[in-house]
Amino acid sequence: MQGNPAPRDTRPKPSGPTEAEKHSSSKPTFAREARGADRILTRNEVRQIDRWAIESLGLPGIALMENAGAGTARILSRETENQGGGPVIILCGPGNNGGDGFVIARHLWNVQIPVVVHTAIPSDRYHGDALINLQVAQRLGIDVRMSAKAEPEAVVRGEHGAKPSWIVDALLGTGATGQLREPIRSWVEAANAIDCRRLAVDLPTGLDADEGVLELPIFQADVTATFVGLKPGLLQQAAQRWVGRIEVVGIGVNGPAEYDADSTR
């Protein structure tokens, strides 16, 4: 059983990394669930692999989302085994990252791990695969709360009756760039203020997939479940305090041969 984590340093942090930190890298601790876990993929390369799987192989995007979410749920199931405590709280933002969060919730619910989902955006902003998985979660009776108009800090702290065992960041994925805007910024700050363990889906919200730490806030993860391969931003020295342990999760396909770690491309 995991003990209670040490209190986090809540003092104001600098606005970004030093120049030395920006241009250095550090190999983090990571697990190899997927073949090619040593490879490093840029934001654009990840998009190309997704497009190849969908357009060349005919594998639906919802299948990729299912594999990514199920793999992440397995990590959480392993980490929460015999842990007890409060529910796993999943914060879902727009796009596929939010969709991954709904899949994670369903797989945790299937193995009777208490889970509560909060949507950080209005429900009418969900479309495609993410909307399908939101609707499936709702039809199953999973506790999905439309929290776009709620105060993030009050929601995360006070609505669950017990301190959460984990907070899952499914707010923004590798496609996000630039400074965090509201309401996502407030959700990240609220999540970081809670004394519990945290998992980031694909990469911590606020961290740039290619450049790493540019501006704060950034979701402070104990574990990052990243898909298909490592991302340059995860390896930046300044990013190490935010990413925690990295686990590379497969999505059912590894991409064309030119994206293998041992490729000569």
- Strands of the sheet with 30-32, listed across from one edge: 30-32, 245-249, 223-227, 197-201, 166-170, 88-92, 115-119, 143-146
* Whole-number pLDDT of residue 214: 93
Q: Is residue 13 part of a domain?
A: no
- Evaluate the omega torsion of the peptide bond into residue 60 and state whether it is cis, within 30 degrees of 0: no
Q: Say if 112 falls within a structural domain.
A: yes
User: pLDDT tens for residues 163-221?
Assistant: 899 999 999 999 999 889 999 999 999 999 999 999 999 999 999 999 999 999 999 99
Give the residues across from 91 on adjacent strands: 118, 169
CATH for 114: 3.40.50.10260
Give residues with Cβ within 8 angstroms of 43, minimum separation 6: 174, 175, 209, 210, 231
Residue 194 belongs to a domain: yes
In this prediction, residues 235-257 reach a mean pLDDT of 92
Domain contains 231 = yes
pTM: 0.85
Could you read off the pLDDT of 105-125 as tens digits, one per residue?
A: 999 999 999 999 999 999 999
Residue 140's pLDDT is 98
In a domain, 192, yes or no: yes
Residue 86 has pLDDT above 70, yes or no: yes
Residue 45 to residue 258: CA distance in whole angstroms: 10
- 20 part of a folded domain: no
Task: Compute and round to an integer the Cα radius of gyration of the chain.
Answer: 17
List, in order, residues 6 or more apart from 141 with CB less than 8 Å away.
none
Whole-number Å distance between alpha carbons of 56 and 233: 28
Q: Domain count for the chain, please give it.
A: 1
Position 197 scores a pLDDT of 95
Confidence of residue 256 (pLDDT cuts 50, 70, 90): confident
Asked whether residue 17 is assigned to any structural domain, the reply reads no
CA distances from 113 to 74, 107, 158, 201 (A): 11, 9, 20, 18
Residue 39 is encoded by which pair of tokens?
């490879």
d(CA 73, CA 113): 10
| Total residue count of the chain as it appears in this document | 265
260 in a structural domain: no
In the structure encoding, which two tokens stand for residue 88, read together?
């796993």
Task: Supply the range of the domain harboring residue 249.
Answer: 25-253
Q: Please give the mean pLDDT across all residues of the chain.
A: 85
Question: Residue 50: pLDDT band by 50, 70, 90 thresholds?
Answer: very high
